[in-house]
Chains A and B, each alone.
Chain A
Amino acid sequence: MVDLSCEDVHKKYRIRKPADAAQTRARWIPRLWSRWPAGSEFWALRGVNFKVECGEALGIIGPNGAGKTTVLKLLSRITAPTKGRIRVRGRLAALIEVSAGFHNELTGRENIYLSGSILGMSRPEISRKLDSIVEFSGLREFLEVPVKRYSTGMYLRLGFAIAAHLEPDILLLDEVLAVGDLAFQAKCQERIAQLRQSGVTLVVISHDLGAVERLCDRVLLLQHGALIDDGRPKDVIARYVTLPIAQAGSGNWSSAGKPAACTGLSFRSGIHGRDAIRTGDPLIARVDYEARERVTGVTFNLLFWWQSGYLCAQLSTALDGAGITLEAGKGYVEFSCPTLAMQPGMYRVDASLARGSSVIDQHERCSILRVDPGKVVLGDFYMPHTWQLVPERLGVLG
């Protein structure tokens, strides 16, 4: 049974430019019947096809601007496709921004009714669930306070509490898996897990690849408005992290105009013949460089970030004091870590090349390190350890 399907869906946007104002002024009468401002065309989606089975959890990943949000907006009817058909079976709820429906001047209680109705609940339904919503948000004592006095966290909590009480057949999520503090995040994730168990069809777009892998049965990879992969989460994510565009991130690898630059970054397991990088195994990180001239006092740095945005770890050549001298030409620096302490997951990596305190070349989010389960422990890190059993022997002690 198919709950959602996209058949050859195209979406075109027009981007208005200041230069188009004069043209609009000259020909304003036909524009009164036009759906678009004057401007240049931009195809956000070009022929996307997929189906989502009833009860399936589908993740959509891809670099910024790939068309993920557009897919969500089309599925939720916020905007219409330019070409193609979308079929939806059942009650659909889209959480693109949980607190979008709030009105600042209204109280928490009034906003529950407002936002609830906007998300498609009937008033009797909201009245019935009011207590439970308030309980979930943990904002009972602020219920009669205008939400403009709320903190950002309270705002999001109330928004998610309302959304959590929708009873959709199909739920669309846009990066809303993580709102509020850790306790509230856990509550949200628990609620999503409950919805999954009750058989709700789920479509999630997210940059949190770890969460996508945990949550989804199937993942789509979008790039430049086209579907380039569709399959098991692990395989599709692996494909995504090796995409040139995902690796390039914000920076490119060009070395133009710099005395020296990083030209590539790769990771491999320190165990020969093993293709996955696992917790507890040795890790080898290789940074390629190119120097246009002789450069002295150079240091190489790699920063590893959690998906949550916190800095996790660093590899640096600066720890040994003296900088490196690079002769003109190409080469690489290889970092060897005898034991990878990082837990399974996806880590964004920044690479940089510095001389003294000035950065010569920097690539933020230039790659993703994927760590697979190896040594399984709880906590944020694997601490390499050994142990020995020491039985207490009475005879010796006495």
Chain B
Amino acid sequence: MHPSPLRLASSRPSPDDDRPEEVIGPPAFSGVNLLAGLFKLASYKDLIYTLTLVRLQVRYKQSILGWIWAVAQPLALMLAYTLIFSVLGRIPSEGVPYPAFTLAALLPWTVFSSSVNNATGGMVHFGYLLTKVYFPREIIPFTYVLAALFDFVVQLVVLIGILLYYHVHLTIRILYIIPVMFCVALFSAGIALLLSAWQVHFRDVGVAMPLSLQVWMLASPVVYPLRSVPAGLRRIYLLNPLAGLVENFRRAMIPGLALDWGLLAVSALLSAAGFLLCYAVFKHLDSTLADVI
């Protein structure tokens, strides 16, 4: 006999128990449902943790460099951009060496781009699971964002190493990256939710992804400073919440530049609004995703 942890008949709740009754109805859309959906995620924290862990475990299985890839990608971009924008063309870099200048911006950008890029295909990739098991569907895109944040922490160590190498003094101000990264994660999660649900209906989303991300990066102050954007364009330019977030992340990392609090507030507001809007669309679509995949 196997020693399975059997419940005895007596452990069955008595008939007059008050186990909560759950009512499943047709998809209904309301602000209350939206918030309830977010709060319900708390009871799935173990699943979120496990899926994120799996995401990290699986990514570099059967690869030789393994973890090094997480760092190699932004470093390679840093070298390429240094060559193009610093050696060949001259772009002002706020008084720090260009590699440090651009890597500081690449880190928050990479969180956004890898979250969105990976999560977009995520829902379709896990289609076999969505049609067999129930759990809140938003968990899948969220785990991609969490995995990207984990990579970010590793990359941050490398960034700090590079700043030290260039004798850039680190101050306690780098703690300001925490609220900045919170907003980056929130906005990334929003876009990841939206695109992963649309990808189920239209595979075009995934096909357009590399190009869109490239354009989006050029529309954010990653390879150039925000102040080189003409003042007349600023207003439209800053509608992209990543612009203010990437800029402020860099300002927190590099001493001598003050944080632009006004800009950060606008970006935070746009990120939160963007997240809620995307989450609303996602919750509207998610009840039939399993039927459409």
A residues in contact (CB < 8 Å) with B: 1, 13-14, 28, 31-37, 54-55, 73-74, 76-90, 94, 96-97, 100-101, 103, 105-106, 110, 113-114, 117-123, 128-129, 131-132, 135-136, 146, 164-165, 167, 169, 187, 191, 194, 197-200
Contacts and interface: CB of A to CB of B under 8 A. Distances in A.
Interface string B49-67: 1110010011001100000
B30 interface: no
Contact of B7 (A90, A121, A122, A198): A198
B236 interface: no
Nearest to A55: B12
A103 B61 CA distance: 12
A123 B46 contact: yes
Interface string B4-16: 1111110111011
A118 B133 contact: yes
A138 to B, nearest CB: 9
A103 B58 contact: yes
Q: Which 9 A-B pairs have the closest CB atoms?
A: A199-B12, A100-B132, A80-B287, A117-B50, A86-B24, A77-B134, A35-B288, A1-B15, A117-B47
Contacts, number: 153
Interface of B: 2-9, 11-13, 15-16, 19-27, 46-47, 49-51, 54, 57-58, 61-62, 128-135, 198, 201-202, 281, 284-285, 287-288, 290-292
Given A37-B201, A114-B50, A118-B135, A105 B58 contact: yes
Given A88-B21, A117-B51, A169-B19, A35 B6 contact: no
Contacts of A169: 12-13, 19
A197 B134 CA distance: 26
Contacts of A119: 133
A110 B54 contact: yes
Nearest to B12: A199
Contacts of A197: 9
Contacts of A94: 133-134
6 contacts: A86-B25, A87-B24, A88-B22, A117-B46, A117-B47, A198-B12
A229 B47 CA distance: 39
A167 B7 CA distance: 8
B22 A84 contact: no
Given A55-B12, A164-B4, A35 B287 contact: yes
Given A106-B57, A110-B57, A118-B133, 6 more contacts: A81-B24, A118-B129, A128-B5, A132-B2, A165-B5, A198-B12
Contacts of A14: 291
Contacts of A198: 6-9, 11-12
A209 B11 CA distance: 31
A80 B283 CA distance: 12
Nearest to B204: A28
B131 A78 contact: yes
A260 B95 CA distance: 94
Nearest to B58: A105
B293 to A, nearest CB: 11
Nearest to B59: A105
Nearest to B18: A89
B62 A73 contact: no
Contact of B133 (A54, A96, A103): A96
Contact of A85 (B15, B25, B132): B25
B198 A79 contact: no
Given A110-B54, A114-B50, A136 B4 contact: yes
B2 A136 contact: yes
Nearest to B55: A103
Nearest to A133: B4
Could you say which of A89, A105, A117 has the most chain B C-beta atoms within 10 Å of its C-beta? A117
A364 to B, nearest CB: 28
A198 B10 CA distance: 8
Given A36-B288, A55-B12, A89 B21 contact: yes
A28 B26 CA distance: 24
Contacts of B57: 105-106, 110
Contacts of A103: 54, 58
Contact of B5 (A86, A97, A101, A129): A129
Nearest to B285: A35
Nearest to A125: B46
A83 B26 contact: yes
B281 A33 contact: yes
Contact of B23 (A86, A118, A120): A86
Contact of B284 (A35, A101, A129, A167): A35
Contacts of B6: 194, 198
A164 B284 CA distance: 34
Nearest to B50: A117
A211 B111 CA distance: 52
Nearest to A2: B21
B120 to A, nearest CB: 15
A87 B202 CA distance: 33
